[in-house]
Amino acid sequence: MEKRVHIVVVTGLSGSGKSTAIKAFEDLGYFCIDNLPVPLLPDFLKLCEKDMPDVLRIALGIDIRERSFLKDYDRIFAELEVSGYTFEIIFLEAPTEILQRRYSQTRRVHPVAASSDSLLVDSIGYEREQLQALRNRADRIIDTGDMTVHQLKGMITRTYSMLKETELLSIQMLSFGFKYGLPLESDLAVDVRFLPNPYFVEELKHLDGTTSKVRDWVLHWEEARSFVEDYCRLVLKLLPSYMREGKRYLTISIGCTGGKHRSVVLAAEIGNVLRRHGYFVTTFHRDMHLE
């Protein structure tokens, strides 16, 4: 193909947030279609090439309501990949008790329920079983159980707004605090709590890692400088392999205790090294302002 089309397939369990994810992609400028019959996908992509040359980013919402999906998706995806298309499959899920509560609040009938009298927990279990093979094939699995719709939309926006159409791989450097939880979007995550902590230096405690005083203090330690050098060497060795596998987005998370000092400094330093090697990098400090 002359143009590189980025195709995201959004699927997963009913009630896990697929509509929210599709809306986030739509806001990012993706051409979005919800519940497109999978057998029509090859013709749709040919139409895009012929009559819609400006459509370079496509998000497809597909779930178990599209009855031919489970029967046809593996064969059709394989045929399209042979034709030169690449797919990223995002699978959304949540614990059964969370899905039960969401359905109870909306009073909707589960799409695989035989009737309105069917037990909701049985329908959820059946759908989870039917979609297991697709889950195993997914490139990214997102558990939305502890997320609000705003948090899910924010995750999609942060991750997928990074990529330029001319870029092969987009990297997000994400600093965070372990006390607030590991970022669910992490592809690689590393703990830097082994480094000396500026939190215990009175004049630095109330500053953050974007200030020159904190940065200089963290990086004056030999173990911090050695870590940046060693970790960048490892990441730079891995990135070509990710790209060969068709990876389009990579989130590298750097965590310290509160996400305010050490992780902020090191996320910025590592990001700068990767930029110097020609990669498109954005940096986001998730927890820096929470304390």
Backbone phi, then psi, for 255, in 5-degree steps?
A: -120, 140
Does this model's pTM top 0.85? My answer is no
Average pLDDT over residues 7-32: 89
CB 176 within 8 A of CB 263: yes
In-domain check, residue 213: yes
In-domain check, residue 260: yes
CB 167 within 8 A of CB 44: no
In-domain check, residue 1: no
The domain total for the chain is: 2
Same domain for 113 and 195, yes or no, is no
Amino acid identity for residue 217 in this structure: W
CB 92 within 8 A of CB 153: no
Same domain for 208 and 251, yes or no, is yes
Same domain for 18 and 120, yes or no, is yes
Which pLDDT score is estimated for 28?
A: 83
| Segment 108-135, tens digit of pLDDT | 777 766 655 567 788 888 888 888 888 8
Task: Give the strands of the sheet with 57-61, arranged side by side.
Answer: 31-34, 57-61, 6-12, 86-93, 140-143
Same domain for 185 and 278, yes or no, is yes
Same domain for 140 and 261, yes or no, is no
Residue numbers of the domain that contains 42: 6-160
Q: Specify burial of residue 58 (Cβ count, 10 A radius: 0-12, 13-18, 19+).
A: buried
| Segment 129-178, tens digit of pLDDT | 888 888 888 888 888 988 888 888 888 887 777 555 445 578 889 999 99
CB burial of 237-253 (b: ≥16 within 10 Å; e: otherwise) equals eebeebeeeebbbbbbb
Same domain for 76 and 207, yes or no, is no
CATH assignment at residue 47: 3.40.50.300
Q: What is the CA radius of gyration of the chain?
A: 21
Cα angle 106-27-3, degrees, rounded to a multiple of 5 = 130
Q: Which helix (H) or strand (E) holds 157?
A: helix 149-160
Backbone phi, then psi, for 34, in 5-degree steps?
A: -105, 130
Terminal Cα distance for the chain, rounded: 50
Same domain for 265 and 231, yes or no, is yes
| Segment 211-237, tens digit of pLDDT | 999 999 999 999 999 999 999 999 999
